[in-house]
Amino acid sequence: MECLILPPHNGDFHSLRGDAASSVVMHASDTVEYLYFVHLGSVNVFDRHNRFLTQYVAGSNLGDFQIILGLKAGYTYVGSASRTNYLFQVKKEAFLKSLFSDYDAMVYLSKIALQRRKHLKRQELKQKVLAKFRGENNSNDFDSYH
């Protein structure tokens, strides 16, 4: 397990990658290599149109459903802009090895992972509907929902 430190940022993280994006945990479409645990601070989740979906606070984890289901990140995960954030990260292989060694844990965590993914999809759809009512023009919003 390693510690990941995310410094506060100016809020303009959407186009950054690499070292310049040190407050970004993962961008949408990134391959998820770690399971993350938020120790101090928080991580905000944004859809591909940079609309806020939810926030993971201390005690939360992220990356679980992507690893369990074999998915790429569908959202951008960014540390809080107002403070330094501390996360612990476990390599995907170590997490899967532990998970597959205990059937009951695998079933339980898979169920939780599916619920987390379902919640994010609902939040994304809610934001798309609100954007449509506000007159924002993202023509492929509803075509890409699945």
| 146 lies in some domain | no
For the entire predicted model, the pTM comes to: 0.79
- CATH number for position 70: 2.60.120.10
| 102 lies in some domain | yes
| 27 lies in some domain | yes
3-state helix, strand, coil in the chain (%, to 5): 35, 25, 40
Q: How many domains does the chain have?
A: 1
| 141 lies in some domain | no
| 145 lies in some domain | no
Q: Which two tokens stand for residue 128?
A: 């798309």
**Whole-number mean pLDDT of the chain?**
85
* Measured CA distances, 36 to 15, 31, 56 (Å): 22, 14, 11
Contact 79, 42 (CB under 8 A): yes
Q: pLDDT digits over 61-78, tens only?
A: 999 989 988 999 999 999
Q: How confident is the model at residue 117 (pLDDT cuts 50, 70, 90)?
A: confident
* Measured CA distances, 88 to 1, 2, 10, 15 (Å): 6, 6, 23, 24
| 144 lies in some domain | no
Between 131 and 39, whose confidence is greater? 39
| 139 lies in some domain | no
Query: Domain containing 13: what range?
Result: 2-134
| 33 lies in some domain | yes
